[in-house]
Structure 1
């Protein structure tokens, strides 16, 4: 499947070269395309680690924002606004 997807060769040519049925190869190519399109499953290990780190950072920043909102409300009440 990678030979077909990574090159500009037809499925029939690759199937003939490998000695397999072109319909079988077509099914494999379709499955590989679906797998590549799945997103996170297509990420490298480093990319998955970076994504996890960034998600943790977003959660941390959202928590900080909520704390600051509450502090702003508190201090606004204290100053009589």
Structure 2
């Protein structure tokens, strides 16, 4: 089995979501489809690498854009979860009708 590679942008967004969502590492990792250890590792690396976590001061407009991007990510995750649940219920209802 080959090792999954993630983009720096994906890692950064995952860590932002972790910091701002209030979700636990295992919960968020499950929602993102990654292992707990992967997310723990990214968090550890980010804390060790000060340049990774340092954010420049942003204008109000830039902050709003960032907030909206986080919201889009959150809504996309919710949509993915709902699709999975719908598929599960669909399978269950087909089994019940047989």
TM over 0.5: no
What's the TM-score, normalizing by structure 2? 0.37
Q: Which has the larger radius of gyration?
A: 1
